[in-house]
Amino acid sequence: MTRPVPDALAAFQQRFSAMLRTPLDRSTGTLRATPARYPAELQTCITAGAVPVDERLAVYNRQYWFRFFTVLQGVYPLTTALVGAWAFNGLVARFLEANPPTGHELGMLGDGLAEHLRATPPVTDVPATALAEVLAHDVAFHRAWTAPNAEPLRMTADLAPRLERGRFVRAPSFSLLRESWPWVTMRHELPTPLGEHRVPMPKRHPAPRDWLVGRAGSTIHVVPLEPAQAVLLEQLSHDPLPAVLARLEDQLGTDACRGVQRWLAHAMDLGVWTAFEDTP
Amino acid sequence: MRGVSLERTAVGVGLRPPFYGHVHEHAPAVGFFEVISENFLDPRSPASAHLARIADRYPIVLHGVTLNLLGPEPLDEAYLDQISRLADRVRAPYVTDHLCWTGAHGVTHHDLLPVPYTEEIADLAAERATYVQRRLGRPFGLENLSSYVELADSTMTEWEFYTRVVQAADVGFMLDVNNVYVSSVNHGFDPRTYIDRIEGSRVLQIHLAGHSREPSGLIVDTHDAPVCDEVWDLYRYTWQRLGPVPTLVEWDAKIPPMPQVLAELDRAREVRG
């Protein structure tokens, strides 16, 4: 354990931190630093030179925010494209003002952004359902790329008898997604680099579609699901297999459930599940 | 655990995700890779799986960005444990981070921030750096920052401060030649004077990178451009003055294809003759 920093340094760091986190002004249509809002005491800590103190501090202030905007645009490309980079940066700023970063990993900066936006919906012309769906898609794809590797569950002799009284645990990289608009297609067609401009809202599907997204080895799988498959995958995380199959037949009819057992085996081969938990 | 050895003439690349495929497929002639430690803390992550494959073929050195050596809180012991385990996993010959603070009062700023250059703060930095090196059980190096402000409370130059910390702590210099150049322009000093004060035998590694210029005339350390001619000149001077030192080219934005980065390694070999 080492001794603390001198009081004067801690006080300087508090003021410098306040300067860094001063929001950028959006009123002129560009993101501008506003040195008038920096702590006044900080000005006296800086030696003036050929470049004014305000401009020197503004470099740190702009770097602070733009680093985060860039990182989060990378994590939420679909959301950025749909609301536009300008609006997205505004949402990020609002999120980070309320939830300043505390961890070591920059890639985890956006954890909680989707929940934050669901809890406090932004003012935007994008329908709330669409915004919620693209946030979920971005989170799922980010998770597919970054979630920890997990050993896939395999069907073994001792697992079969336990299926009646337990539930499947999904591997952390796998997510189920529902889309009312063609987000998966839109993601594939996003320009690189993303650019500042909004992508127009696509045409809504006549009926929602379901997808399975996840990683097996180093391969990302994006699999379209039939309604029965989506229900199966969702409910197996909560209930035993026989109960889920019975409910599925009740809900969708026998015809729609044909091939479900084969699909179950396919999902296991993909590595959708990582464990099986017995329930009391 | 002892690390793998690194040739003093080795040239390396900052390993970034866009390079994984090229490295796996082509095994380019690179002396070593440096990784941002924070991106590999979870041993089960896909990034760590790539790193494990690459560590089988190349020396890996660790470069941290959130040690927060001079932050107001005590050093993060859990983080040091993670770095130590990562260093063991990749058999890192040394670990480096920055002579700065990166967060305060529970908030991580993800930036490398300045302190006044005083004897009191230098001694504190040395005390903490000594602790980190002992804690990690392998050589530890401190990198000089690019800075955009000079603080009124400073009583010594940056190179006096940097040298005092490294020598008192008995750690290494992680000498960023681009940062020396950036700060020399921003604060109006001769970058060769800075290099002249560095003790060659203590330099673990050199960094080279690109930067961008603001309308105000300030240069910002953006790592989004090729190394400029002025920095190549300063690198040549540094090499002549300090002797062979493992050298790394780093990109963090607008990352070009790997062959373009490899061409910069060739330029490094060529510049130093």
Amino acid symbol at B199: E
Calpha distance A9→B97 (Å, rounded): 20
A86 in contact with chain B, both atoms CB, cutoff 8 A: no
Residue A72 CA, distance from chain mean position = 9
Q: Taken in order A176, A178, A181, A182, is the CA torsion positive or negative?
A: positive
How does pLDDT run across B212-267, given as a tens digit for each residue? Answer: 999 999 999 999 999 999 999 999 999 999 999 999 999 999 999 999 999 999 99
How far apart CA A182 and CA B3 sit, in angstroms, is 50
- Is A262 exposed, middle or buried, given 0-12, 13-18 or 19+ CB atoms closer than 10 A? exposed
Residues 11-50 of A with CB under 8 A from B: 12-14, 16-17, 20-21, 44-47, 49-50
Pick A104's closest partner by Cβ from B72, B108, B131: B108
At position B132, the amino acid (one-letter code) is V
Q: Which residues of A touch B151 (CB under 8 A)?
A: 12, 45-47
The whole-number pLDDT of residue A1 equals 62
Give the count of Cβ contacts less than 8 A between chain A and B: 143
User: Cβ contact (<8 Å) for B121 and A44?
Assistant: no
| Model pLDDT, residue B2 | 52
- ipTM surpasses 0.90: yes
Which residues from A are below 8 Å from B72, CB to CB?
Answer: 4-5, 9-10, 13-14
Higher pLDDT, A259 or A18: A18
Nearest-CB residue to B115 (from A3, A9, A105): A9
Residue-level pLDDT at B3: 62
Other beta carbons less than 10 A from residue B164's beta carbon: 18
> What's phi and psi for B173, nearest 5 deg?
-85, 130
Tokens of A70: 């860039």
At B42 the pLDDT is 95
| pTM, full prediction | 0.93
Gap from A179 CA to chain B (nearest CA, Å): 27
Q: Which of A12, A100, A104 sits opposite B107 (nearest CB)?
A: A100
Angle between helices B258-272 and B229-242 (to 10 degrees): 50
B72 and chain A in contact, CB less than 8 A: yes
Output the average pLDDT for chain A.
92
How far is the CA of A68 from the CAs of A62, A63, B34, B111, B145, in angstroms?
10, 9, 23, 11, 20
Which among B178, B132, B148, B58 has a CA at the least distance from the CA of A16? B148
B149 touches chain A (CB under 8 A): yes
Query: Which residues in A lie closer than 8 A to residue B153 (C-beta atoms)?
Result: 8, 12, 45
Model confidence over B17-50: pLDDT tens digits?
Answer: 999 999 999 999 999 999 999 999 999 999 999 9
Domains present along chain B, CATH in parentheses: 11-272 (3.20.20.150)
Distance (Å) from the alpha carbon of A4 to chain B's nearest alpha carbon: 6
| Kind of pairing between the strands at A209-216 and A219-225 | antiparallel
